[in-house]
């Protein structure tokens, strides 16, 4: 069987070509010294939201934006995901403004916690925040003091950190209080009321965000009019911010995939289907059911939080590489396909992330290149496996099987016996019917002992 001989330096050439292309894109990245990053937080807050927010803040850091505006419309979400987002806000050196928007939007429960952790808080008219008492998975309110007191302290401490109403922050949790935009501004839970982002930015231009230390060294954030912020050391000015370029953050395929995986129905189906396929594959090996089941179970474990997203992606990459290497030895086809699926899913889970992010468009190109390269590699291995399987399944024709149907030339007249040359060899032959003259083309019909029974090709019926 012929093999495909590729130049040994081809992989190096391809890698160099890709790196040059990425370098050009990196060099042409826009200057964002006067820009704002707008992030939309819609729907339930989950681990996918945490990943999205981490990516967005990493992008904000790389592009050196002046402000991150998080527009919010959420019923709340998972406690762990909410706390992780609050921690991201706490460690951000770029100011973050949570804006409950548009009119009619809500930031209930976990959304209010996230709002309270932001450097600036704003609401549009007709929006609502509050109802922060924790609930169980079934939706029942949790009244155990251990959980209630912990979340109350979390809310109150962040209200104090940002110079907001600590009493109202406590009532959000203990009494499930709710406030509209005007009341929230009146009770000093938020800093601004605005009906759209341009209005919010115009209002913000008259203020400066300061950070000062209280007794015992506690750092406190506060928003002050520009003329009152001159005596503070650490200040963030918003002069001319209404003229800033607003960059819309667009979640990548990773966030979409995580939103699907973290859906309780999808994760449960993955686990059940994975177990079923695994047992089916054990009983009937060779069809790939056990591999499909293992992948489903691994994705379910990622969805349930049993293993981290990054760890799950690394495991998928490693499994994919092992399966593709095994395909080189076995040539059964299903291993290459399974390996490619593992590597594609792993690449979607892994990119973009903060440790890999250099420039947002660049990270998307890396992700797309990985998917395309993996799909191309899978296609190549599948083609090789198909050819190998076809070669194994095809029967080798020798002796009588190779001669029947073959065509040759009569080297002597056959009347009815004579001699022919077929497949480069001379054989005694017998005409099936009538006379065959020397030089006529003949076809082998059958073989009797060592004599070939033939007939002329131009008289075949």
Q: How far apart are CA 31 and CA 285, in angstroms?
A: 57
Which of 146, 329, 395, 460 is flagged as catalytic?
A: 146
Axis crossing angle, helix 253-261 with helix 47-63, rounded to the nearest 10: 160
Contact by Cβ (8 Å): 442, 424? no
Residue 412 CA from chain centroid, whole number: 73
Pairing of strands 425-431, 417-422: antiparallel
Buried-state track 217-249, b at ≥16 Cβ within 10 A, e below 16:
eeeebbbeeeeebeeeeeebebeebbebeebeb
Which of 35, 38, 58, 109 is flagged as catalytic?
A: 109
DSSP annotation of 23: H
Q: How far apart are CA 355 and CA 303, in angstroms?
A: 22
Told to judge if 363 belongs to the known catalytic residues of this protein, a careful annotator would answer no
- DSSP H helical ranges for 6-143: 10-27, 47-63, 79-91, 110-117
Torsion of CA 258, 263, 269, 272, to 10 degrees: 80
Contact by Cβ (8 Å): 420, 427? yes
First vs last C-alpha separation in the chain: 36
CB atoms within 10 A of CB 140: 8
CB atoms within 10 A of CB 45: 26
Pairing of strands 120-123, 192-193: parallel
Q: How far apart are CA 415 and CA 377, in angstroms?
A: 60
CA proximity to 19, closest of 11, 31, 29: 11
Torsion of CA 308, 310, 316, 317, to 10 degrees: -160
Q: How far apart are CA 454 and CA 150, in angstroms?
A: 96
Told to judge if 109 belongs to the known catalytic residues of this protein, a careful annotator would answer yes
Q: How far apart are CA 369 and CA 379, in angstroms?
A: 15
Tell me the catalytic residues. 109, 146
């Amino acid at each position: 069987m012929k093999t495909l001989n590729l130049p040994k330096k081809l992989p190096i050439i391809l890698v160099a070509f890709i790196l040059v292309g990425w370098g050009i894109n990196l060099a042409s990245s826009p200057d964002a010294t006067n820009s704002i990053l707008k992030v939309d937080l819609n729907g339930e807050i989950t681990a996918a939201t945490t990943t999205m927010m981490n990516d967005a803040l990493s992008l904000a850091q790389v592009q050196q934006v002046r402000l991150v505006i998080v527009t919010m419309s959420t019923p709340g979400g998972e406690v762990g995901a909410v706390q992780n987002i609050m921690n991201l806000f706490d460690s951000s050196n770029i100011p973050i403004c949570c804006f409950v928007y548009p009119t009619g939007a809500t930031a209930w429960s976990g959304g209010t916690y996230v709002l309270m952790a932001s450097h600036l808080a704003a609401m549009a008219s007709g929006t609502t925040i509050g109802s922060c008492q924790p609930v169980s998975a079934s939706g029942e309110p949790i009244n155990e003091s251990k959980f209630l007191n912990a979340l109350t302290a979390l809310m109150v401490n962040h209200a104090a950190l940002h110079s907001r109403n600590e009493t109202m922050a406590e009532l959000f949790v203990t009494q499930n209080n709710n406030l509209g935009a005007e009341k929230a501004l009146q009770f000093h839970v938020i800093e601004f009321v605005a009906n759209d982002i341009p209005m919010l930015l115009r209002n913000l231009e008259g203020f400066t965000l300061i950070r000062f230390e209280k007794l015992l060294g506690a750092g406190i954030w506060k928003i002050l009019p520009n003329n009152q912020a001159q005596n503070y050391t650490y200040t963030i000015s918003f002069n001319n911010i209404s003229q800033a370029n607003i960059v819309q953050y667009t979640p990548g395929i990773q966030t979409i995939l995580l939103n699907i995986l973290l859906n309780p129905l999808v994760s449960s189906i993955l686990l059940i289907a994975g177990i079923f396929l695994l047992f089916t594959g054990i009983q009937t090996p060779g069809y790939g059911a056990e591999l499909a089941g293992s992948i489903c179970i691994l994705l379910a474990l990622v969805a349930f939080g049993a293993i981290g997203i990054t760890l799950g992606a690394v495991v998928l990459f490693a499994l994919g590489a092992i399966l593709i290497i095994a395909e080189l030895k076995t040539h059964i086809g299903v291993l290459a396909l399974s390996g490619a699926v593992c590597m594609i899913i792993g690449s979607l889970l892994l990119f973009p992330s903060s440790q890999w992010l250099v420039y947002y468009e660049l990270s998307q190109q890396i992700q797309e290149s990985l998917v395309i390269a993996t799909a191309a590699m899978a296609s190549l291995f599948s083609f090789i496996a198909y050819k190998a399987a076809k070669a194994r399944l095809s029967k080798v024709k020798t002796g009588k099987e190779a001669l029947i149907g073959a065509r040759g030339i009569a080297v002597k007249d056959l009347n009815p016996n004579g001699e022919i040359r077929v497949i480069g060899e001379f054989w005694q032959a017998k005409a099936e019917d009538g006379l065959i003259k020397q030089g006529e083309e003949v076809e082998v019909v059958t073989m009797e002992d060592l004599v070939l029974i033939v007939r002329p090709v131009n008289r075949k019926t």
